[in-house]
Structure 1
Amino acid sequence: MSAPSDTAAQAHESDWLDHAIRAGLVAYGVVHLLVGWLALQLAFGEKEDSASNAGALHYLAQQPLGEALVWMVAIGMFLLVLWRLLEFGFGYREESDDAKRWRKRATSLGKAVLYGAIGWSAVQTVTGSGGGQGGTDSTTSKLMDLPGGQLIVGAVGLAVIAYGGVLVWRGWKEKFREHLDSEGQTGKDGSVYVTLGKAGYIAKGIAIAIVGGLFVYAAVTHDPDKSGGLDQALQTVREQPFGQVLLTIIALGIACYGAFCFARAKHLSR
């Protein structure tokens, strides 16, 4: 009889997990396409929902068969959580450097938390249990009230900026190619996929870095109202000189990231 750890390790290498990952990536792509669409609406002053993951899910729920689609997104996100948790527990065994292996596993755990947050948001959207619009600023306010809260908020902001910077770097250097099989990187289709990935990673990284910047600004000014999520970050872009043009470019880039998720699902390499 196999030990539970052996069974989990086998699951991590199984074909069925590949199918689960593909389904999750499609769901993740749908969310990003909708965020891009809402950001584009914001750029032209016609916003229907907040340009964020939660706003995208709410927007999707209002469409025909919307609740069923949101449930599908939730399931897809939780499948990605399962993948990343298995990766955290049993992945990267080929790495000879222990520090590098555990760094990659920690990254997988962080992504599991991210996917889980989107999946939980989808469940709340479809069940109506969101509990109102507490908002990022209320969370920041609670952090500010903790001992050393101002430093905590600043550190969170810097970490978010760093994550955004990593995405921009991965996009510019085309490090995302490792997520595509050889067929997905060659020929005319491969060129399109790589272009989508490059635009998507850079745009998403810039947007996330702006979110981090808002946290740092909130920490420096000791004003939690200055912090905000993706929607507020994009509104900040909109308010700058040439903001409409910049926000349009970012919106299209986020949509490109969503399209790249579809390409990654088709040409999965892990």
Structure 2
Amino acid sequence: MTEPSTRTGRPDSSYSSSSVERMAQHPNFARFARAGFVMSGIVHLFIGYLAIRLALGNGGGTADQSGAMAELAAKPGGGVALWIGVVAFTLMALWRLTEAVFGKASEPQADSKKSEAVHRIKAAAVAVIYFGFALTAFGFARGRGKSSSGESKSLTARLMENTAGTALLIIGGAVIIGVGGYHVYKGATRRFLKDLKGTPSKLVQRLGTAGYIAKGLAIGAVGALVILAVSQSDPDKASGLDGALKTLGAQPYGATLLVAAGLGIITYGLYNIVMARLAKM
């Protein structure tokens, strides 16, 4: 029998890689990583709630992920929930990272090389987002959370100090708008159904359609504000999701639009919770 080692006693690299891949794509790892969908859903439920509260004139804090986590931290048992969130977000980030490295466990041979490369890039991007959620939750769990809106303004101000940073902001804003547009497209065409197991119910399909469109419009608005901040040399304009929602609320019929946006984000949150059970992983 051939031993999985060299004469130096070190493990064979292909054997080690295969072992890491099997551990990374183990069903139990996927089962725990699904908790990330639940926590993401809860965060979006709070963001939607904060947007509606802002529309009703009861605004306080920021209507974004940091505001949502601050709101959660203030609830009974919120600290424990945030620590659970740190673990759940980290597991989901690690799972997406394994997809970026090894490919999708549920459909390892389903895609062409081009679409497989695109999927791996998207998985890596989602991993970064979930690591960001984990860091934000960690900060609020320790009682040292910071406003995402404030950090966005500060970063924008630093980048606007030179030409290269300004160009990076414009490119970044355009990319964010593109991501938002893709969410709208994914919701309108129901391409999200490819991410789900079996044939989901009509209710799930409606949640996905409305949720992706609402989320996409919100993301697109954030990107537009980044470009607006650069064009007006005003870093305060780049205030993230909170700024996008407050800008929406300042428009004619702003309260109605803000309630609609809040309900849409809540819908996306509910869809994320459904994803915990139905998503292919």
Structure 2 residue 160 is the aligned partner of structure 1 residue 148: no
Q: Cα deviation per residue 1:78-136 (whole Å; 9 max; x = unaligned)?
A: 01111101001101442563332222111111100001101100001111334677431
Residue correspondence of structure 1 range 91-130 to structure 2 within 5 A: 91-92=103-104, 93-94=108-109, 97-130=112-145
Separation in structure 2 between the aligned mates of residue 23 and residue 130 of structure 1, nearest angstrom: 22
Provide the aligned length of Structure 1 versus Structure 2.
265
Separation in structure 2 between the aligned mates of residue 49 and residue 255 of structure 1, nearest angstrom: 18
Structure 2 spans left out of the alignment, 5+ residues: 5-10
Structure 2 residue 231 is the aligned partner of structure 1 residue 220: yes
How far off its partner does 1:244 sit? 1.1
Aligned AA for 1:243? G
Aligned AA for 1:177? L
Structure 2 residue 241 is the aligned partner of structure 1 residue 230: yes
How far off its partner does 1:12 sit? 3.9
Separation in structure 1 between the aligned mates of residue 23 and residue 191 of structure 2, nearest angstrom: 27
Separation in structure 2 between the aligned mates of residue 259 and residue 249 of structure 1, nearest angstrom: 15
Greater shift after overlay, 126-135 or 108-117?
126-135
Percent of paired sites with the same residue: 33
TM-score, normalised on structure 1?
Answer: 0.93
Q: What RMSD in Å do the two structures reach over aligned CA positions?
A: 1.7
How far off its partner does 1:17 sit? 2.3
Separation in structure 2 between the aligned mates of residue 130 and residue 66 of structure 1, nearest angstrom: 13
SS in 2 for 1:148: helix
Q: Decide whether the 8 Å contact of 2:79 with 2:141 is kept in 1.
A: yes
TM-score, normalised on structure 2?
Answer: 0.89
Separation in structure 1 between the aligned mates of residue 139 and residue 238 of structure 2, nearest angstrom: 23
Aligned with residue 205 of structure 1, among 196, 211, 216: 216
Structure 1 spans left out of the alignment, 5+ residues: none
Q: Decide whether the 8 Å contact of 2:66 with 2:147 is kept in 1.
A: no
How far off its partner does 1:151 sit? 1.6
Task: Name the larger-Rg structure.
Answer: 2
